[in-house]
Structures are given as C-alpha cells and as structure tokens.
Amino acid sequence: MQMRDFRKKFFRTIFCISIIFIFSNKVVLPKNNTIKLIKDYLADIRTLQARFSQTDYMGEIMTGDLFLKKPGKIRFSYDPPNYLQIVSKQQAILIFDPKNSGTGPLTYPLSYTPLGFLIKNDLSSLIGENDKSFELNNVIFLKIRNPQYQLSIEFNKNPVSIIGWEFKNQMGEMIKIRLKDIRKNNYISDEIFKTEKDYELFKK
C-alpha cells in the first residue's frame, strides 16, 4: 500500500509540474546566455534585406523594402503612394518626404533613433547586461532603455532570427516595425545608399 500511495503521489506531482510548464506563457531567460545569443546573431549580420510593415501610433500602416549594410548604412524605401525614403548618412538619418519637397530632407542624429542595434558592429554600448529579456511562446523579447526612446526587439528563438521591433519616442508615440522575406548576408551594392537621387527627386 505504501509503495502504491508513493507512486500515485509521484505521478501526480509529475503531472502537475507538466501542466504548469505547458500553460506557463512567460519564461524569464538566463540573462547572460540570452544577451549573448542575441549579440552573436546581430554581430553576424553583415547585410540584410527584407520587406517591412510599419504601424504608427495612429494605426496607419505603410510597407516597403529595407536595405542594410554594416557598418552604418540603412535605407527604408516605402511603397507608393508614400514614396518616403529614410537613409543613413554618416551619423545622421535623412528623411526624404515628397510632401515636403522644396524644403530639404528632415535630419536627425543617428543616436536619437533606435537603429543603432542593426547597423553598428560594436553593440557593447547599445545592449548591456542590465537590459531585460524574456520569452513568450518561443519569441524572445529584448527591452532596451535609452534616454531618447524605449525599444523592444523581438526574435524567434529557434533559430535566433529577428522578427521586428517597436519603440516609443520622448513624446510617447509608439512605432512598430515587422520584417518578412529576410535575406541575410547577400551582396548589396553601396549605390543603394547614395542620396544624390533622393535630392534630385526632392527638387521635382
């Protein structure tokens, strides 16, 4: 009887542990291991192409193509009817908007944007051990706090691959970016990131 009761308690305990595991959605990951996996994945990116969708704080959705080449080169080329172009140049981000033709592109310091994690080779100043990560349904979320914005980056867990990110600026506006059809480390010409053609179109 004692052995039978022991077996019942044992299997009941195992069952309860299994149920808890199955229905637990959020798993806090070992910080050092997770941060290292993410850093290794991002550091391995030399070039990246993808389709993107952007949802702003008003719920407006825009789509386009993303081109990235390390170090420091990135372009968001938006689909019609927007025709918006966002291009990095040196330490700045230039925003070419046909609606503002004649006034020149809007210019922001790169440090004021959340794009550094994508286009820098050295991530030590961007992703630290104090940044938080957790897992939800096999998706890793990395939350980064910066004086200029709050950034949450999403990655598939197995294998680690970027899904997208969302950030909140100083005015509390939330922007969400989602990527698909990602092509990593293929050849990308430097011509894509030149801005002469953007200035020419801006004048028209």
Average of per-residue pLDDT across 166-170: 85
**Taking the complete model, does pTM exceed 0.75, yes or no?**
yes
CA distances to 16, 148, 175 from 71, rounded to whole Å, are 50, 22, 24
pLDDT for res 69:
96
pLDDT in tens, 65-115: 999 999 999 999 999 998 899 999 988 999 998 877 667 788 988 877 888
Residue 147: the pLDDT is: 73
Asked whether residue 135 carries a pLDDT value surpassing 60, the answer given is: yes
For residue 50, the tally of other CB atoms under 10 A from its CB is 19
> Which of 1-5, 159-163, 174-178 bottoms out in mean pLDDT, i.e. has the lowest?
1-5
Residue spans of the domains in the chain: they are 26-203
pLDDT grade, residue 158 (50/70/90)? confident
Q: Please write the tens of the pLDDT for every residue from 12-67.
A: 333 332 322 222 333 344 445 777 888 889 999 999 999 999 999 899 999 999 99
Domain 26-203 matching CATH 3.50.50.60: the answer reads: no
| Residue pair 118/48 in contact by the 8 Å Cβ criterion | yes
Q: 127: which residues sit within 8 A by CB, 6+ positions away?
A: 35, 38, 39, 42, 117, 142, 144
Of residues 153 and 1, the one with the higher pLDDT is 153
CB 78 within 8 A of CB 84: yes
